[in-house]
Amino acid sequence: MNTTSKENKNTSQIKKVIYVLSIAIPVVVAVLFKVKIEGVDLSILPPIYASINGITAVLLITALLAIKLKNVSLHQLMIKMSLGLSLLFLAMYVAYHMTSDPTPYGGELKAVYYALLISHIVLSIAVIPLVLFTYLHAWTGDFERHKKWTRFSWPIWFYVAVTGVIVYLMIAPYYAV
């Protein structure tokens, strides 16, 4: 088997993993939301994972500026850090919701809050394969495809990060004290 065939086979296997992750992550998160662990207080997590979302947004802007300035190594570092922070966010978010009751929104901007929340949740699911395929294209050196995918994945990822902060700021006054 020549090198190109091995690369195509590896890429094909990675694509399958991306498809599985894109389905498994939302399903596992939904299932874990049904699990309630009593006696564990993780109420410190929401401001932490909201901050992680904010840092991710800043890193994504930095990554965009870095690549526009042709600083590929900084761009790569910012994207890798954004991916790591997104995973950390997800772990903390799930842990918090497994140990806490839901917090109802009690403000006057209920329609705005729920519109942001729903769009945030839907796009956080959609962004999984978008970001992973975008990353795969860069990793395999297919920069033309990487650029095309980035036109969709970057703004959605950025929106998810920013709306995560906004949703937190809107719901924070209603957390049980």
More confident residue, 71 or 6: 71
Return the CATH number of 40-174, one of 1.20.120.80, 3.40.190.10, 3.20.20.80, 1.25.40.10.
1.20.120.80
149-171 pLDDT tens trace? 999 999 999 999 999 999 999 99
Q: What is the pLDDT of residue 2?
A: 43
Q: What is the pLDDT of residue 31?
A: 87
CB 47 within 8 A of CB 168: yes
Average pLDDT along the chain:
92
Residues in the chain: 177
- Report the 3 state secondary structure along 8-37: HHHHHHHHHHHHHHHHHHHHHHHHHHCCCC
* Among candidate residues 34, 29, 38, 19, the one with its CA nearest the CA of residue 124: 29
Q: Please give the share of the chain, as a percent, with pLDDT higher than 90.
A: 80
pLDDT greater than 90 at residue 35 = no
Q: So where are the chain's domains? A: 40-174
> Considering the entire predicted model, what is its pTM?
0.89
Dihedral of CA 33/86/173/110: which sign?
A: negative
50-102 pLDDT tens trace? 999 999 999 999 999 999 999 999 999 999 999 999 999 999 999 999 998 88
